Structure 1
Amino acid sequence: MTSSPAGARRLGLALGAAGAVLFSAKAILAKFQYRHGLDALDVLALRMLFSLPLFLLLGVREARRPGLAPIGRRDFGLIVILGVLGYYLSSLLDFWGLEYVPVSLERLILFLNPTFVLLIGVFAFARRVARREWIALAVSYAGVALVFVENLRVEGEHVLLGSALVLLAALSYALYLALSGQLLKRIGSLRLVAWAMCVSTAATAVHYLLVRDPAHLLQLSPTAYALALANAVFCTFLPVTFTMGAVARLGAGTAAQLAVIGPVSLVFLGAWLLGEAITAVQLLGTAVVLAGVWLLTRPAANSVPVAATAGQGERDAD
């Protein structure tokens, strides 16, 4: 028995909203992990290792779907590049930046991904941009600047380094989005996410083995492992499946717009769970950023596709 269109839409909205909040909550869990003696590389390594079996199973399931084109040698090469850019480098820089900035500022900077994709299209592919898009860009960056200056006043100068790292993380992920468009059409979004995460896990493992003794990961507290497992399952794997479910029921445009819930939720979750400062200026800046990105990601509003399906699939790793 098929569900009604209204029921499918409600389910899609619930899945999209849950995915956005869970993706954002990754930053909260990372902050808690830092309190147990872990750093950015430890957090990333545990996240990747714990989520790897789930993404392997997802990749195998997607590979067995009828009608999907086989992945060629060239596609595998591109998957390696995308996995390193989108899920290893971007995630490492993001977790590193979280050592210095509050979660609300981190999520706002990452939320600029569509604007970076647009700018990459302008400078790398000579795409034309409408005036309203430039206005949306200006609004978005003005809002981030407002929140940044307020956090600099409240948190101190370490916000400079942390913001720069998160900005580089957002740029790295924007490169992933800009390069993934055609591949997404050929192999499918879930299959791309699954195999790119496997590549990212391998890159993280190599990095860890080069600079750390892996025995360190076997000497952590039970709480540290529990937080890492929650990060892998609830803030990495489940949001991917939730967001793809929302895209299937609502379309990529509507599902992408639900991502605005993430930065808003972190403003309040950061204050509640981590005791981070929250001021009227931060709230105003957050509203300005959300308005600018909303203008840019409306259906048919972009000269350059923002790859909403892929972007929401792992805005972290959001």
Structure 2
Amino acid sequence: MRRRDALALMAAAATGVQVGAAMVATRFVVQDIGPASLAFLRYAIAMLCLAPPLLMSVRVRFTVRDLFVVMGLGIVQFGILIALLNLGLQLISSTRAALLFSTFPLMTMIIAALLGREDLSRTKVAGVMLTIIGVGVALGERLIVQSATGEWAGALLVLGAALCGAICSVLYRPYLARYPTLPVGAWAMLASVMFLAAPAGMEGLFTEQPRLGSSGWLAVLFIGLSSGIGYVLWLWALKHTTPTRVTVFLSLSPITAALLGVWLLGEPLTFGILLGLVGVVAGLWLATRKEPAPRL
């Protein structure tokens, strides 16, 4: 059991890194393609990765109600969430967006506690808050510069995306307990692709060729393939541990974005990044501890 729990946390960590890398890649191409079009291509590519399990899921007997709920959650998590995130990334930097999106586990923890799905312990709250502080320290001056521009619309869009993800992370759990992970993920993603087809068409995706060069298409391909793999890991982690313990690893996404800036863009590796990384790691340790703690 401990081994499976450790594997679930490793899967959650891999997803956190994937989200950060995809956010940087999204920022690279989002100005050249509509947000709905990018979201459609992202999950159409990811859907191809999950086509085999979708075909296999014919043998898995979903009840009609459960199937509609799973598809509805897919529309919220992949359609609405990504559309809001992409719109937000048109207005604010990926660095600031990553910090705002790192409130995802805090929202998840509160929603799970309100629904009686999880205990709200002092240790867990301290761990989540410490990861957010660590992210803020790592981003440092870049966060201050961006926050001074007053781009509140972009910030609200990203926070709305995080709220969508938090709600879905809590509500997925019962269906992951009833059905295999891959079919659940495949049906959810298929629903999102169908939902995104209409707004992508309104942006002209199916009538005009996007203004993307070869590097832009490679970025889109990376975003799609990594999203397919990341989503399967995400659902598998949610199946085997609590939503807060999974979503807290999203704090790795802004750290990943900062380190990619050092590697790919030649940005300096500052003391703030290293200190923030220590804070995030300490927060993750606190938030994922199994020791019982009293309710607040």
Question: Aligned residues: percent identity?
Answer: 23
In structure 1, how many angstroms separate the alpha carbons of the residues matched to 2:159 and 2:268?
21
Matches within 5 A, 1:206-225: 206-210=198-202, 212=204, 214-217=206-209, 220-225=212-217
Does residue 203 (structure 1) correspond to residue 195 (structure 2)? The answer is yes
1:47-101: CA deviation from partner (whole Å, max 9, x where unpaired): 122222222323223444xxx5x10111022113201211111111222222344
User: Are 2:47 and 1:52 aligned?
Assistant: yes
1:114 corresponds to which letter in structure 2?
Answer: P
Matched, 1:164 2:160: no
Q: Quote the Cα distance in structure 1 between the aligned partners of 2:9 and 2:294.
A: 26
**CA distance in structure 1 between the partners assigned to 2:36 and 2:109 by the alignment:** 30
Could you say which residue in structure 2 is the equivalent of 1:34?
30
Q: Following TM superposition, by how much is the alpha carbon of 1:28 offset from its aligned partner in structure 2, in angstroms?
A: 2.0
Q: What's 1:236 paired with? A: 227
* 1:216 partner SS: coil
Deviations along 1:215-274, one digit per CA (max 9) or x if unpaired, are 1246644443332122211x21233456678899xx658x95876654432211023324
Tell me which amino acid in the other structure corresponds to 2:37: D
Please name the residue that 1:227 is paired with.
219
Which residue does the alignment assign to 1:24? Answer: 20
Distance 2:100 2:292 in 1: 21
Distance, in Å, in 2 between the alignment partners of 1:12 and 1:285 is 24
* Alignment partners' CA distance in 1, 2:182 and 2:20: 20
Deviation at 1:176, TM superposition (A): 0.3
Instruction: Give 1:199 shift.
Output: 0.7
Alpha carbons of 1:119 and 1:285: their partners in 2 closer, same or farther (altered >3 Å)? same
What is the SS of the residue equivalent to 2:120? coil
Measure the CA separation in 2 of the matches of 1:205 and 1:91: 13
Q: TM (normalized to structure 1)?
A: 0.72
Instruction: Specify every segment of 5 or more residues in structure 2 that has no aligned partner in the other structure, as ranges.
Output: none
1:32-53 superposed Cα distances (whole Å, 9 cap, x missing partner) = 2136x22422321221222222
Q: Give the SS at the match of 1:92.
A: helix
Within 5 Å, which residues of 2 pair with 1:269-280?
269-274=260-265, 279-280=270-271
Alignment partner, residue 142 of structure 2: 151
Instruction: For 1:218 and 1:271, locate their aligned partners in 2 and report how far apart those are by CA, in whole Å.
Output: 29
Structure 1: distance between partners of 2:100 and 2:135 = 7
Distance in structure 1 (CA, Å) of the matches to 2:100 and 2:294 = 22
Q: Tell me if the contact between 1:152 and 1:159 (Cα under 8 Å) persists in the aligned partners.
A: no
Gaps of 5+ in 1: 1-5, 305-318
1:128-152 Cα shifts (integer Å, max 9, x gaps): 5223333334434544565677434
Instruction: Compute the displacement of 1:186 (Å).
Output: 0.9
Q: 1:11, CA displacement in angstroms? A: 9.8
Normalising by structure 2, report the TM-score: 0.77
How many residue pairs were aligned? 289
Deviation at 1:197, TM superposition (A): 0.7
Whether the 8 Å CA contact 1:114–1:297 is kept in 2: the answer is no
Render the CA deviation track for 1:153-184: whole Å, top value 9, x for unaligned. Answer: 33341554433322211111000011111111
Looking at structure 1, the residues matched to 143 and 128 of structure 2 have their Cα atoms a distance apart, in angstroms, of 22
The two structures, once aligned, show a CA RMSD in angstroms of 4.0
